[in-house]
Amino acid sequence: MNEVHPKPAVLNVTDAAAARIREIIARAGKPVAGVRLGLKKGGCAGMTYTMDLADQAAKGDEVVEAKGVRVLIDPKAILFLFGTEMDFTVDKLSARFVFRNPNETSACGCGESVSLTPAKAEIVERHA
């Protein structure tokens, strides 16, 4: 008998991140389909995370719905984000989204950019 395994999530969203995303969307002043998460080249470690409000899902976006929010993941970023936890932290001097990414190989000292490798093939195959 074939066992059914749940599809592994590309991204896990913490309660704090979901709450902050809901606040941002509530203040948007326009209809929003979700938050688009991606990566771009830049920073001293090679890549930076990007987040924007999205009016609609784009072709190929991976849609993650969790805890009452929708995160749309740019298809070019999916392989680099498998298994990532998205959190929101607040301390004395800052408030920011934090990404705990198992594909991260290094990060710059300021925390603004990271070096990433694509997820391992067995994880990607389980997701398909």
Instruction: Establish if 5 belongs to a structural domain.
Output: no
The DSSP code sequence of 37-66 is EEEEE-STTSEEEEEEEESSPPTTPEEEEE
Tens of pLDDT, residues 84-93:
999 999 999 8
Instruction: Establish if 6 belongs to a structural domain.
Output: no
pLDDT at 105: 77
pLDDT at 80: 87
Domain carrying residue 76: 11-127
pLDDT score of 12 more than 60: yes
**Helix, strand, or coil here: 73?**
strand
Tens of pLDDT, residues 79-121:
889 899 999 999 998 899 999 988 877 676 665 666 666 666 5
pLDDT score of 27 more than 90: yes
Tokens 């995160």 belong to residue: 71
Instruction: Establish if 115 belongs to a structural domain.
Output: yes
DSSP bridge pairs for 98: 87
Q: What is the CATH number of the domain that holds 95?
A: 2.60.300.12
Instruction: Establish if 2 belongs to a structural domain.
Output: no
